[in-house]
A and B are shown apart, each in its own frame.
Chain A
Amino acid sequence: MSELNLPGTQVPDSRGYFGAYGGRFIPEALVAAVEQVAEEYEKAKADPAFAAELDALLKDYTGRPSPLTDVHRFSAEAGGARVLLKREDLNHTGSHKINNVLGQALLTRRMGKTRIIAETGAGQHGVATATACALFGFDCTIYMGEVDTQRQALNVARMRMLGAEVIPVKSGSRTLKDAINEAFRDWVANVDSTHYLFGTVAGPHPFPMMVRDFHRVIGIEARQQVLDRTGRLPDAVVACVGGGSNAMGIFHEFIPDAGVRLIGCEAAGDGADTPKHAATLTKGDPGVLHGSRTYVLQDEDGQTIESHSISAGLDYPGVGPEHAWLKDTGRAEYRPVTDRAAMEALRLLSRTEGIIPAIESAHALAGALELGRELGPEATILVSLSGRGDKDMHTAAEYFGLYDDAEGTN
């Protein structure tokens, strides 16, 4: 994690634009705070002590580098293509989210702030944030949609165990979008003491760039691991995309490798052509949501349309602006993956490899199964296994009928 500088690609520009996407659409009350984050981040990037401290945390606290796992029995179901999993699920706290959280926690300390707020969908970002706040001694408040507090109850308990206050958000769709709204409202009122530790590559500049930079370690490690293991680059890199942080983290190092396909898997819920999905890049239109210009699920009046996904972490009607740019430039492809396909992939990886993935990550696995069947046995596919599935066992048990005396819904 010692190289925070960009490789080759000169995005975003000084105003935070990735092509037509990004920018900073925020109220005046937040301008000073967001500028402070941007300035402090630039100073931190130039400070070897910052990189050294972050490197040490990633190694000794998170457990990096995360392994690369060959999944032979799973690969047999993916048309014989060689599937390699980048094991972000094995990080401390159980997902990739900790990479960004530790970086921003160090930044918070540099800014002299003592309180952190965050939004969370599946609870993985909330758990990682609560963890860092315990480690650094910050006050911590996590906003989580009421629907998500129910379907990810284990993570609510984890956050509270770590000393965080978890506030269920009852407005709007009561999911991730509304948790972000409520976190912004808190930030406007408490900006002097508080850093908003944004959890994905969305939001106003510099968050899309900064969160990506803190997750670049995923792709930097994985690219070298694949080269060492196979002697060549993969044919494709596959990751799930909600806001898109694990995907940007693993994609970024491969952007200059023109022969490597970058494939983001969006949550298609009941199907991208039904009213119930979260396939923002597939079905949305350019607009402004949560501080940046990007693709948004919206109606003809610019009102946000509620998203739907069995995965709380992908249930979001926006997406990071760099993904919008990668889509429009054609450098990355985005595919919809239904709830059903994701849950089948979750069960398949569990039973063929003894690895229970998060439902979010299962969308990427479903994408890899489809892609492997297209590309055949000569292909190598790198998949970001962004998180582990413990938190999803209630949802999975209901879905598959795993409780005694219960019938599954599917």
Chain B
Amino acid sequence: MADTKLTTALAAAKAEGRAALIGYLPAGFPTVDGGIAAINALIEGGCDVVEVGLPHSDPVLDGAVIQTADDIALRGGVKIKDVLRTVAEVAAAHPAVPVLVMTYWNPVDRYGVARFAADLAAAGGAGCILPDLPVEEAAEWRKAAGEHGLDTVFVVAPSSKDARLAEVTAAGSGFVYAAAVMGVTGTRSAVGNLAEDLVARTRATTALPVCVGLGVSNADQAAEVAAFADGVIVGSAFVKRLLDAADPEAGTAAVRALAADLATGVRRK
């Protein structure tokens, strides 16, 4: 498999003997330009990879924090073209950092599968995470993504049986997203042992890096996950920083500070 911006970034973290830090924020939140600044702050703080969320009217996999952010973004009028501009500006500012889009399937379907892949690649995007598109329904997307050099990251869950894990990881590229809590997105107080078991079972099926998302919100939790995973994915904790901030500048600063804190976590020995 050819190296991509995404595989290169994850390999670089591995070469340093540590897990990668992957940060998520929705585009258009609190505004399109404010969102771009906040995502740049993820990278300035120390994220190795960023996921740009495409806000959706029906975010059935998201908890209250990301629902609120999506709602603010949509009421602010964010469109797919704004999401693509966000990707383009972040990718231009940080050419080595892979910028993924995380989106529910219907916006891509509606925009046009080939068109979305082409426009995302043209914007400098590295790939997509499509959490409600199971591998059985993904043939058209994978073809388009392949033609444009985009990675497709599939999600696995604690309820995925071993045979199923093998099917999912065989279809994906870049890394495998282990959604290691049964539930919607949101921060959790404890890491739990489902995650380590899921990572081990996933690794038995693939050579791809396995990155874990389970509601990490601080450096101690990041360190705990980093001890058994190839990457630590953080979303709601960043969104919450922006929601809680007195103004957008303070929010961006808080995002940068949290990213820096988490970056120390993934480097802890």
Measured CB to CB, the residues of A under 8 A from B are: 15, 23-33, 171-172, 177, 181, 184-185, 188-192, 285, 287-291, 296, 298, 300-304
Contacts and interface: CB of A to CB of B under 8 A. Distances in A.
B182 A25 contact: no
A25 B184 contact: no
B125 to A, nearest CB: 17
> Among the interface residues B63, B79, B111, B184, which one has the most CB atoms of the partner chain A within 10 A?
B184
A391 to B, nearest CB: 26
Nearest to B177: A28
Given A188-B183, A289-B106, A15 B136 contact: yes
A27 B164 contact: no
A301 B164 CA distance: 32
19 contacts: A23-B137, A24-B137, A26-B132, A26-B134, A29-B157, A29-B182, A31-B157, A31-B160, A32-B160, A185-B60, A185-B63, A189-B184, A191-B159, A287-B110, A289-B106, A301-B80, A303-B74, A303-B107, A304-B57
A25 B137 CA distance: 7
A177 to B, nearest CB: 7
Contacts of A33: 159
Contact of B105 (A25, A171, A192, A301): A25
Contacts of A289: 58, 106
Interface in B156-208: 156-161, 164, 168, 179, 182-184
A190 B158 CA distance: 12
B183 A302 contact: no
A28 B106 contact: no
Interface in B64-114: 67, 71, 74, 79-80, 105-111
B78 to A, nearest CB: 9
A32 B167 CA distance: 13
Contact of A302 (B67, B110, B137, B184): B110
B33 to A, nearest CB: 19
Contact of A29 (B108, B137, B179): B179
Given A28-B156, A189-B184, A302 B106 contact: yes
B240 interface: no
Contacts of B105: 25, 288
B205 to A, nearest CB: 14
A33 B61 CA distance: 16
B132 A287 contact: no
A390 B260 CA distance: 60
B56 interface: yes
If over half of A's interface residues share one DSSP class (helix, strand or loop), that class is named, otherwise mixed; here it is mixed
B176 to A, nearest CB: 11
B160 A185 contact: no
Interface string B225-269: 000000000000000000000000000000000000000000000
Contacts of B131: 27-28
A29 B58 contact: no
A14 B181 CA distance: 30
A298 B110 contact: yes
B136 to A, nearest CB: 7
Nearest to B67: A171
Contacts of B133: 25
> Among the interface residues B105, B136, B164, which one has the most CB atoms of the partner chain A within 10 A?
B136
Given A188-B61, A189-B184, A287-B109, A28 B74 contact: no
A302 B160 contact: no
B80 A185 contact: no
B155 interface: yes
B154 interface: yes
A202 to B, nearest CB: 13
A132 B182 CA distance: 27
Closest 9 pairs (CB-CB, A-B): A302-B110, A302-B107, A189-B183, A29-B157, A303-B57, A302-B106, A304-B57, A32-B159, A288-B106
A185 B64 CA distance: 11
A27 B61 contact: yes
Contacts of B58: 172, 177, 181, 289-290, 304
A20 B107 CA distance: 18
B110 A27 contact: no
A301 B119 CA distance: 14
A277 B56 CA distance: 21
Contacts of B137: 23-25
A178 to B, nearest CB: 8
Given A25-B132, A288-B109, A289-B106, 15 more contacts: A23-B137, A28-B134, A28-B154, A29-B159, A29-B182, A31-B160, A185-B183, A190-B182, A192-B182, A285-B110, A291-B132, A302-B106, A302-B108, A302-B109, A304-B106
Contacts of A27: 60-61, 131-132, 134, 155, 157, 179
Interface string B128-148: 000111101100000000000
A189 to B, nearest CB: 4
Contacts of B157: 27-29, 31
Contact of A301 (B61, B111, B182): B111
B22 to A, nearest CB: 18
Contact of B184 (A24, A172, A185): A185
B175 to A, nearest CB: 15
Contacts of B164: 31-32
A267 to B, nearest CB: 20
A118 to B, nearest CB: 15
B107 A301 contact: yes
A300 B110 contact: yes
A29 to B, nearest CB: 4
A187 to B, nearest CB: 10
A189 B79 CA distance: 30
